Amino acid sequence: MVKVILIVAIFSLVVYIGWQLKQFYKKQEKILTDVVLFCECLLSNINFIQKPIGEIIEENKDKFAKEFREVLKSFVKSLEEDGEVEVKSRYITDENKRTIQNLFINLGKTDVLNQNSLIENSRETLKISETEAREESKTKGRAAFKLSLCLAGLLCILLI
């Protein structure tokens, strides 16, 4: 009886680890997709509707995942207090964090033409990262989960 419980526990733990790795890659992809969508939203609102940035964020923040909403809250807070924007996420690389932080630091500080070029440059840079993240999610995420299933099955067979 103890052996069966041990086998089930080991199987569950190994599969859970693989599932977590798969979720890591999915969240990475989701955050980068949200940032790219946010850039597109900013471009359309700045060019056509010409709303203030804080208002644009407040209207659209519910469209994005929790991780990116935290970044948006940090940005709105920095607008009110004139502080730094913090990009805290374990799912994206330091280079992408710097790109996002640079976008938010310079947002609203220049004229419309410079804002558009800043947003477009950030969007293009992050689109490349998003594409890479999507490919990683498809390959590495699936592979990690399948490998964990195989490893869990192998361990169970060895313990039997």
Position 83 scores a pLDDT of 64
pLDDT in tens, 30-74: 989 988 998 888 888 877 777 777 777 888 878 888 888 887 887
DSSP string of 62-81, one letter each residue: GGS-HHHHHHHHHHHHHHHH
pTM of the model: 0.81
- Give residues with Cβ within 8 angstroms of 121, minimum separation 6: none
The rounded distance, in Å, linking the Cα atoms of 123 and 28 is: 16
Q: What is the mean pLDDT of residues 105-120?
A: 80
- Give residues with Cβ within 8 angstroms of 59, minimum separation 6: 51
Q: State both tokens at 142.
A: 């699936």
Length of the chain counted residue by residue: 160
Distances (CA, A) of 153 to 6, 10, 15, 42, 44: 13, 10, 9, 49, 51
With b for 16 or more beta-carbon neighbours within 10 A and e for fewer, the 81-116 pattern comes to: eeeebebebebbeeebeebbbbbbeebeeeeeeebe
Q: In terms of Cα–Cα distance, which of 128, 109, 123 is closest to 38? A: 123
Distances (CA, A) of 83 to 22, 59, 76: 35, 22, 10
Q: Which single residue is written with the structure tokens 């009110």?
A: 80
pLDDT above 70: percentage of residues in the chain: 98
pLDDT in tens, 15-24: 999 999 999 9
Q: Alpha carbon 154 to chain centroid distance?
A: 33
Report the domain count for the chain. 1
Q: Look up the domain containing 127 and give its range.
A: 2-159
